Structure 1
Amino acid sequence: MDRISQLHDELLLGILSSLPTAKDVAATMVLSKRWRFLWMMVPRLVYNACYQDIDYGRFSTFVNRFLLLHKAPLIDTLHFKIGNACSSGDIPALIRAADERCVHELIIEIFTPNSNYTPVTLPRSLFTWCKMLVTLTLRNAVLTDDVTYPVSFPSLKNLSLISMKYPGGDDFFNTLISSCPILEELVVKQILNDNVSMVTVRVPSLKRLVLNQEVKNAVNGIANGFVINTPSLECMDIVDLTNGCHIVENDMPNIVKAKVDIFHPQTEQLLGSITLAKYLHLCLPTSKNVSYPAGNVFNRLVHLRICTCETEWINLLMRMLRNSPSLQVLEIEQAHFLRSYQPRPCWSEPSSIPECLICNLETFKWEHYYGAEEEKEVAAFILRSTISLKKATIIPHKSIFEDKKLEMHKELSLLPICSPVCQLVFS
């Protein structure tokens, strides 16, 4: 301990910031005189009150007393972990504490043992205080639309809304997003019955967008899905397994990285907006003609990851190879469970070899390889066609037995490889 105590304050504060809770931080004052007042300067504070049988009135008092003694000029992060026993009336005191200390990052997480609980509602003060917030993360609560004053987050750059409910529905969600004029990162992970049908994101400043709609109740006569207008976007991660519609109102000239995992067959508008991406991860639905605008070429694409869970994945793969002349890295994986009622794809030898295989592809990786007939055909085509390939890695699915793996390894090792420098790795 003496050697640690000799470190500079900045290093010691970094150590204290990594402790699990503010209670642990305060406990260090008894270590020695050197540590007696250090806890008062820690810029990151985590308050854990998600265990059972806690008195939230006493918890709020503890938070306020702790912050009164706290002497740091700025609190970077204030993180509350709260159990479902907490009532909505206990939350305002915590938000007031964040507002009074000009906190830059506020995290409020509600932890529940199961779905049969009374949800915690975050108060209107969240929208009228905390004007200095730069990052706001909310998880598993109700976001009330009963506000006396207009919603406003003038300094907010990062917003995460995870498993939230919005009694005000689409209108309130749109108001909330539009109240963040300099927002750069938005994460929205929806849940069943969250009251938002169409997630509308019209934010000119947005650089990173994560939308996750894995589960959603469809209401007859009401469209669901998302609307995007984000001309500055650089990174996009879309997961929508609800068969909802997708409307993209602009091209994305700054896009660098995009993941598109959707179930709706109409993908033309969405894929057409991200043709300038350098990194793409695609899992698209069964569609005989994979939909993106004819003639579009992914000239900047250097890294492509394709999922094999849908029937027409080979069609998607070959079309992307033909339209990605600069591709250097190709990864194939099965990211989702196969649907037993869907037929598996058939391999058809292309009439010509894509330009990227002749000129640029250097790395080929296949994860969760099953050794099905169409998979062997695709692997054989890539290995015998890629002139510049340096490394090919085949990773069998973990469910494959060892004797089957040995058989697959033998089959692959006998395949002709065009590149004289290619290293074939079977792991």
Structure 2
Amino acid sequence: MKSARLGESQGCHDAADHISVLSDDLLHYILSYLHSAPAAAQTSVLSRRWRSVWKQIPDLIFLEDSSPDAVDAALAAHTTPTLDKLAVVVAKASGRVSAARVAAWLRFASRRDAQEAHVVLSCKEPPPSENEEEEEELEVPLLGSAVMLTANLVVTFRLRLPPAGSFAELRLLILTLAAVSGDDLSRVVSTQCPCLCVLKLAMLNLVGDLSIRSDSLRAISLRVVGKETQLEVTAPSLESFVVHSCSHRQVRITAPKLTEVEWDDAYDPDVHRLLHTGRHLHKLVVTQWSAMPPLLERFETADELSLHLAIPPVSLF
């Protein structure tokens, strides 16, 4: 009887562990569905066979419950020479993350030729005053193999962009909550990103004017970017242009293929100029700050028109 039970147990054990005989590539594929590097690392307790499997997964994803120390440890243990994706999201409970630490994560992505690099720091709100915290410089490395780069940081980080070299494969660039030189950003987008298609800037302290010339850009989104700066964009392939609450003293957009415009800000045709665009749009979204927004007069027709009323507060007493 004991022998029968032992055989029964052994059979169940063998059946349960059939997954371990799969190839590493298949196991990496299975672990990728966890969408979490810490969860993948926990599989190392299953058996000796599993101890190193997670260290070779192509995607390293750290959600908000991961601490910066856990991120550092996982990157140090990872063994494959290339990486598909590095995504780090740090929650408020993890405390402040230094610019040097974020730079190290981005350098890891650069050395592993990551196709995607995303760093999101939700650890703090913008400080109420400029003098509350000392600004830290964050050196952004070249990511020559990256197709996507997202940096959602904190306003006390000042980005130092590479002075030379190419983001050869970069298609999507998102920068949020940081300070950056207008000259540096202009140079990188215009001359170091030959394939860039989408540029999204949000709550960015833009120091100086931004001047972009790009044959590849198809979409630009600006949300609370710059303060009394000048914006000039020359992009023959640009199709979509979005502006939300930007205080540029002058805007000049040259985009003959422009088909979608979203403008949530005061529009002055003497200051905000859309040049060489057609008179017809596929989509026009306007926040109505006046009885007849001047932007409506710039275009004759639109397949889709969306108007948002901006009604000022009225005192009843």
Whether these two folds match at TM > 0.5 is yes
Alignment of 1:340 with 2:313, yes or no, is yes
Alignment of 1:136 with 2:136, yes or no, is no
Deviation string, structure 1 residues 138-191 (Cα, Å, up to 9, x no partner): 1124244386x525322222111111212xx32222122222122111111134
Equivalent AA in structure 1 for residue 238 of structure 2: L
Q: CA–CA distance in 2 between the matches of 1:247 and 1:144?
A: 25
Deviation at 1:13, TM superposition (A): 4.8
Tell me what 2:32 maps to. 17
SS of the equivalent of 1:212 reads: strand
Q: CA–CA distance in 1 between the matches of 2:291 and 2:207?
A: 28
- RCO greater where, 1 or 2, for CA within 8 Å and sep 6 or more? 2
- Conserved? CA contact 2:147–2:170, under 8 Å: yes
Indicate which of 295, 300, 312 corresponds to 1:297. 300
Alignment of 1:247 with 2:260, yes or no, is no
Alignment of 1:266 with 2:269, yes or no, is yes
Deviation at 1:39, TM superposition (A): 2.9
Q: CA–CA distance in 2 between the matches of 1:118 and 1:235?
A: 37
Deviation string, structure 1 residues 214-235 (Cα, Å, up to 9, x no partner): 7x64xxxxx4252221110123
Equivalent AA in structure 1 for residue 266 of structure 2: F
Q: CA–CA distance in 1 between the matches of 2:295 and 2:64?
A: 49
- Conserved? CA contact 2:161–2:188, under 8 Å: no
Q: CA–CA distance in 2 between the matches of 1:15 and 1:240?
A: 44
Q: CA–CA distance in 1 between the matches of 2:183 and 2:291?
A: 34
Residues 157-176 of structure 1 mapped to structure 2, 5 A cutoff:
157-166=171-180, 169-176=181-188
Q: CA–CA distance in 1 between the matches of 2:266 and 2:17?
A: 58
Tell me what 1:107 maps to. 118
Are residues 207 and 291 of structure 1, via their aligned partners in 2, closer, same or farther at CA, if it must alter by over 3 Å? closer
Alignment of 1:81 with 2:89, yes or no, is yes
Indicate which of 69, 76, 96 corresponds to 1:64. 76
Q: CA–CA distance in 2 between the matches of 1:269 and 1:210?
A: 16
- Provide structure 1 residue ranges, at least 5 long, that are not aligned to the other structure: 218-222, 310-337, 343-427
Are residues 114 and 281 of structure 1, via their aligned partners in 2, closer, same or farther at CA, if it must alter by over 3 Å? closer
Indicate which of 111, 128, 138 corresponds to 1:122. 138
Deviation string, structure 1 residues 18-56 (Cα, Å, up to 9, x no partner): 4353111111244578866653453221135877xx674
Q: CA–CA distance in 2 between the matches of 1:78 and 1:137?
A: 10
Are residues 275 and 213 of structure 1, via their aligned partners in 2, closer, same or farther at CA, if it must alter by over 3 Å? farther
Residues 188-267 of structure 1 mapped to structure 2, 5 A cutoff:
188-191=201-204, 194-213=205-224, 217=227, 223-242=228-247, 244-248=249-253, 250-253=254-257, 255-266=258-269
Q: CA–CA distance in 1 between the matches of 2:290 and 2:248?
A: 12
SS of the equivalent of 1:106 reads: strand
Alignment of 1:45 with 2:64, yes or no, is no
Indicate which of 191, 195, 198 corresponds to 1:185. 198
Deviation at 1:286, TM superposition (A): 1.4
SS of the equivalent of 1:174 reads: helix
Deviation at 1:240, TM superposition (A): 2.9
Residues 257-336 of structure 1 mapped to structure 2, 5 A cutoff:
257-266=260-269, 269-270=273-274, 273=277, 275-286=279-290, 288=292, 290-291=294-295, 297-298=300-301, 301-309=302-310
SS of the equivalent of 1:94 reads: helix
Equivalent AA in structure 2 for residue 227 of structure 1: E
SS of the equivalent of 2:285 reads: strand
Equivalent AA in structure 2 for residue 183 of structure 1: L
Equivalent AA in structure 1 for residue 229 of structure 2: N
Q: CA–CA distance in 2 between the matches of 1:170 and 1:106?
A: 22
Q: CA–CA distance in 2 between the matches of 1:186 and 1:4?
A: 47
- Count of paired positions: 288
SS of the equivalent of 2:236 reads: coil
- Provide structure 2 residue ranges, at least 5 long, that are not aligned to the other structure: 1-14, 128-132
Are residues 228 and 257 of structure 1, via their aligned partners in 2, closer, same or farther at CA, if it must alter by over 3 Å? same
Are residues 81 and 252 of structure 1, via their aligned partners in 2, closer, same or farther at CA, if it must alter by over 3 Å? same
Q: CA–CA distance in 1 between the matches of 2:300 and 2:89?
A: 47
More strand by share: 2
- Conserved? CA contact 2:59–2:86, under 8 Å: yes
- Conserved? CA contact 1:104–1:132, under 8 Å: yes
Are residues 106 and 231 of structure 1, via their aligned partners in 2, closer, same or farther at CA, if it must alter by over 3 Å? same
- Conserved? CA contact 2:210–2:232, under 8 Å: yes
